Structure 1
Amino acid sequence: MFAESLIGESAALATAICWTITALAFESAGKKVGSLPVNVIRLFFAFFILGIFSYFNKGLFYASDASLDAWIWLSISGIIGFVIGDLLLFQAFVIIGARVSMLIMALTPPIAAFFGWLILNEQMTAINFIGMAITIIGIAIVILAKGSDNGKIKMKYPINGVLLAFGGAVGQGLGLVFSKLGMKDYDPFLSTQIRILAGIIGFSILFFILGKWGNLFAAFRNKKAMTGITIGSFFGPFLGVSLSLLAIQHTTTGIASTIMAIVPVLIIIPSVFIFKERISFKEISGAIIAFSGVVLFFVF
């Protein structure tokens, strides 16, 4: 029991590190070629990386041994998490940056717990709601500020970027619940591949509707953007998402989500050095308070 719990917790911590790297990589790429091309290309890359890995690991290039039930629920999870959630999140990266976006994404664990209560009949207590409130307070400390002209509280960052990041958190939280429904004891890497395939199909339909294929081909010619997409694809849809599924497979959704929620704290230092962001003590405090709320939500 201890060894199994340790596997889940270690995988969750590794996931947080991967998501920190991928958020910074995709922010850089998205600002160069746009969020839509980044989403599609990284899923294509991740699909084949997962296929090659699974072929050498299990002798299967794709999830041919998965049950119909797994395909249905994991595909739904892929549409919600990758197409809807990540589409909103990646656009938030472009507007308000990865650091603030990932801070707002700290709401993902409470949102996942809420949907777990709604769909899986998991329990929520008064302390859970207190933890959620503390997380919201931490986020508010970062995104709200007093106006210089009238002293009224105003949004420090563009409201559309904040709403997009919140939508990404909802998509990720709900997608995680459907992942648990579909995966059960199935291989987490092949489970991720099913989710990614659903995401590719969803984005392909979206590209046909919007007529954005020209943007996609232009992105392939941008070497700096492709470098960021390649790095982000490895650490995000391939390694990060697969490790997150491994984590919830070997420990509770709450413990895994709590450890994964440390990203807003981990991302502060690289944001300073890579994007030269000027981060105040108040913003650091807000990130730590938000993370503390997630810890309170699940630990007590």
Structure 2
Amino acid sequence: MSSLLTTFRGELAALSAALIWALASVVYISLGQQLSPLRLNLIKGLIAIGFLLLTLLLQGKLLPHVSPTALGLLCLSGVIGIGFGDTAYFEALNCLGARRTLALESIAPPLAAVMALVFLQERLTVGAWLGIALTIAGVAWVVVERTTEATTQPQLCRGAGFGLLAALGQASGAVLSRAALAGTTIDPLWSAFIRLVAGGLVLLLWLLVQQRSAQTLNQDLKLLRSPRFLFILTGTAFASTYLAIWLQQISLKYTAAGIAQALSATSPLFVIPLAIALGEKVSPRAILGVLIALVGIWLLLSWK
């Protein structure tokens, strides 16, 4: 069992991150109705940085040896993937809802695989490419099954634009992280910390250049002083940013970028058993989509 966990630790970490993101997406839709995407992204990042710093202190992993090249790649990954990519993702969620946004996110894994092939010469087997295709096809089949979100044409166009930017940001961030982590001794915990700090700094600068009214700032402070809101936001940030990004960095260190992204994109699949457990009716189409994706996941796990 331990040898299997070691062999597939990257893939299992990606699937674990997907499970966390599936649950967190529902909460973020509610939080996004009260805070703008930019402020929500910044605050959740600051909370996660605090948790990561505490973990590093407890583990005694301070001041690691990180080459300037790797540090630059991780900082750039944080700026693109977390600073811009996650903000665009939250904006897309507000405009399109979870299903349509996740459908657009399906282009991130093949995009990451192609970018890794071009820039990192990371070649995958035919079986791995087929696994990526089947996994994403199954996820997309589940996601676009039905759409209950009412969306106006301007919202649709705006949401589609931000969804595509989010997918590009996630793919680029993943490839940059993979370039920094592959074949090095950098701890995934430290890489997650560096990415979040870089992303947080660009978000803070972005927020400072925006002209915010005193009334808006007072509303934000009042909201953050609400114990219930702060508890929900802290808990969600702990799971989706602290744990999930740490797991994502583990996956990118120990498996190919395209495979890590494909497995991380399986979040919608985890909603199906949850819906069944809650007594909701799940269509045969959704179950078929899950089965297709599971075949793809099996191919991705067997590519080694």
- TM bucket by the smaller chain? 0.7 to 0.9
Q: What is the rounded CA distance, in whole Å, between the counterparts of 1:139 and 1:158 in structure 2?
A: 18
Quote the residue 2:38 is aligned against. 36
Instruction: Note the C-alpha offset of 1:294.
Output: 7.4
Aligned pair count reads: 288
For 1:279 and 1:55, locate their aligned partners in 2 and report how far apart those are by CA, in whole Å. 45
Give CA-to-partner distance per residue, 1:150-181, whole Å, 9 cap, x none.
xxxxx9x9343233223212111110110112
Contact 1:81 1:176 in 2 (8 A): yes
Gap change, CA 1:27 and 1:270, over 3 Å in 2: farther
Number of the residue aligned with 1:197: 197
Task: Work out the CA distance in 2 between the residues paired with 1:160 and 1:279.
Answer: 30
Match of 2:120 in 1: 120
Alignment partner, residue 149 of structure 1: none
Per the alignment, do residues 219 and 278 of structure 1 end up closer, same or farther by CA in structure 2, a change over 3 Å counting?
Answer: farther
Match of 2:81 in 1: 81
Following TM superposition, by how much is the alpha carbon of 1:111 offset from its aligned partner in structure 2, in angstroms? Answer: 1.4
Matches within 5 A, 1:99-138: 99-123=99-123, 128=129, 132=133, 135=136
For the Cα contact (< 8 Å) 1:264–1:287, is it kept in 2?
A: no
Summarize deviations over 1:120-168 as a string: whole Å, max 9, x none.
12236777389549846963785498xxxxxxxxx9x934323322321
2: CA distance, partners of 1:13 / 1:285: 19
Deviation of 1:268 (Å): 4.3
Pair 258,129 (structure 1): closer, same or farther in 2 beyond 3 Å: closer
Kindly state the Cα deviation for residue 226 of structure 1 after the two structures are TM-superposed: 2.6
User: Residue type of the partner of 1:160?
Assistant: R
In the other structure, the counterpart of 1:152 is none
Return the alpha-carbon distance in structure 1 between the equivalents of residues 168 and 135 of structure 2. 18
Q: Separation in 1 of the partners of 2:50 and 2:132?
A: 39
Which one of the candidate residues 12, 21, 24 is aligned to 2:23? 21
Letter in 1 for 2:56: S
For the Cα contact (< 8 Å) 2:105–2:163, is it kept in 1?
Answer: yes
The TM-score with structure 2 as length reference comes to 0.78
Query: What SS does the corresponding residue of 2:33 show, helix, strand or coil?
Result: helix
Unaligned runs of 5+ in 1: 146-154
Query: How does the TM-score come out when normalised to structure 1?
Result: 0.79
After the TM superposition, which residues 48-87 of structure 1 pair with which residues of structure 2 at under 5 Å, given as runs?
48-60=50-62, 63=63, 65-87=65-87
* TM-superposed deviation, 1:234: 0.8
| Residue matched to 1:97 | 97
State the distance in 1 between where 2:44 and 2:61 align. Answer: 24
Cα deviation code 1:235-255 (max 9, x no counterpart):
122110111111222333344
Task: Tell me the distance in 2 between the aligned counterparts of 1:9 and 1:102.
Answer: 20
Structure 2 counterparts to residues 267-286 of structure 1, below 5 A: 267-268=271-272, 282=285
Contact 1:104–1:166 (Cα < 8 Å) also in 2: yes
8 A contact 2:113–2:259 mirrored in 1: no
Say whether the 8 Å CA contact 2:136–2:262 is kept in structure 1: no
Name the CA shift for 1:220/1:65 in 2 (closer, same or farther; >3 Å).
farther
Going from structure 1 to structure 2, the CA distance change for 1:18 and 1:137 (only over 3 Å counts) comes to: closer
Contact 2:139 2:268 in 1 (8 A): no
The 3-state SS of whatever aligns with 1:158 is helix
User: Matched residues in 2 for 1:216 and 1:3: separation?
Assistant: 44
Q: Which amino acid aligns with 2:205?
A: I
Distance (whole Å) between structure 2 residues aligned to residue 277 and residue 33 of structure 1: 30
Q: Aligned partners of 2:144, 2:227: CA distance in 1, in Å?
A: 33
SS in 2 for 1:32: coil
| 1:160 aligned to which of 151, 158, 161 | 158
Q: CA RMSD in A?
A: 3.6
Q: Is the 8 A contact 1:13 1:260 kept in 2?
A: yes
Q: Secondary structure at the match of 1:33?
A: coil
Once residues 192 and 221 of structure 1 are traced to their aligned partners in structure 2, the CA distance between those partners, rounded to angstroms, is 28
Cα distance between partner residues in 1 of 2:156 and 2:290:
18
**Residue equivalent to 2:257:** 253
Provide the secondary structure at the position in 1 that maps to 2:11: helix
In structure 2, give the amino acid aligned to 1:70.
A
Distance verdict in 2 for CA 1:293–1:216, change over 3 Å: farther
